Amino acid sequence: MTLISGPQVAEKVLAECQRDITELKARGVTPGLAVVLVGDDPASRAYVRSKDKKCRDLGLHSVKLELPATTSQAELLEVVAKLNADPAIHGILVQSPPPKHIDEAAIVRAIDPAKDVDGFHPVNVAKLALEDPTGFVPCTPLGCQRLLIEAGIETKGAHAVVIGRSMIVGKPMALLLMAKGPGGDATVTVAHSRTRDLGAITRQADIIIAAIGRPHFLKAEHVKEGAVVIDVGINRVEAPETEKGYKLVGDVAFDEVAPKCRAITPVPGGVGPMTIAMLMANTVKACKQSLP
């Protein structure tokens, strides 16, 4: 059984970004990323802080805008419009989830598709479906695909089962795995909370992408011998024995599933580091594509 290391692959992606950033700076251009946080959700604040730190570590131009929870829809749209017009900003990310009074879909649509490094704008969703390489793919599924490629997992002709149908992971993951080329050409089944007899489907899978958001959901009985499992889940569960009183676990019951696997990602230490790495890669790509 091979343990697929997220931090190791993420470092490789970031090293590629670093080379590109150095070349762009030599041409007088610095890739810029703006991250907008509305409200004071602790998890969102931590994510924004880590994204800002990674930008600075790589030498990107980083703008972190922290807005109060009382920010109105109109005020947020105005912030997005200013960032759209700012030539020093190549990527814009509005941290999800925003406060309940904000229409998140409208905010996503307001971002210039050429700066939508999260890959959620309808134009970029369409480009993914059309296999247009100028589009931006959501960072987590893009990271999952890169993990498969770097681990030497052959996707061509493989049966991949994606558990979860969100626009953040499930749907774009399925499109990536179906697309022509490296990390693609798979036969894809998308399963979800309404799927009947899930085990009968997942036991056919050569590759399983678990992104259902339920701790330890995927058991040994769901997986055939020699399968590859990518665990996207990050779930906080109570753990009184730990200093924090909780621990992070995946959607996969790792201890019982891992012995059956040819390769598997751990949680933490799997997909998580890839999400920020691919965000940096998307920002560099946006900068490159903005050049004449």
Active site residues: 51, 95, 118
Coil vs helix vs strand at 36: strand
Torsion over CA: 162, 128, 38, 44 (sign)? positive
Q: Outline where DSSP puts E strands in the chain.
A: 2-3, 32-38, 61-67, 91-94, 159-163, 187-191, 207-210, 227-231, 235-238, 246-249, 261-264
Cis before 97? omega within 30: yes
267: CB partners within 8 A, 6+ apart: 231, 233, 234, 248, 249, 250, 252, 254
Contact indicator for 181, 208 with CB cutoff of 8 Å: no
Contact indicator for 238, 245 with CB cutoff of 8 Å: yes
Contact indicator for 77, 83 with CB cutoff of 8 Å: no
108: CB partners within 8 A, 6+ apart: 94, 116, 118, 120, 121
How many CB atoms within 10 Å of residue 255?
9
- Can you tell me the distance from the alpha carbon of 292 to that of 279, in angstroms, rounded to the nearest whole number? 23
